[in-house]
Amino acid sequence: DGTPEPRYLGLAAAIAEGRGQLFLRFGKTPDAVPFLEQGIALRKAEAAAGGTPPPLSIAIAYVNLTGALHRMGQPEKALEYNVLA
């Protein structure tokens, strides 16, 4: 039916999260944000497809995204995500 298997969604999420973390480590916070957001979306899709994301993975992804947004001077947007963590 064209729907990706949960394990592939989880793999894609891990890759996106890893890329986001690399950008954060190299001080390229604005470049990290799209990958962190993508990781969250993929983890949600993994769960919706019947997969089981690692415990706390979505919460940790939200915390990472919140921190990145705060460092970029976007505290209001960071708070929106922080509530979801």
Span 11-66, pLDDT tens digits? 999 999 999 999 999 999 999 999 999 999 999 999 999 999 888 988 899 999 99
Write down the pLDDT at residue 26: 96
More confident residue, 30 or 84: 30
Could you tell me the pTM of the whole model?
A: 0.89
Cα 79 from Cα 67, distance rounded (Å): 10
Report which DSSP code applies to 6: H
Q: What angle do CA 80, 72, 18 make, to 5 degrees?
A: 80
Write down the pLDDT at residue 9: 96
Q: Let me know: does 49 contact 4? Beta carbons within 8 Å.
A: yes
Write down the pLDDT at residue 1: 65
Write down the pLDDT at residue 10: 95
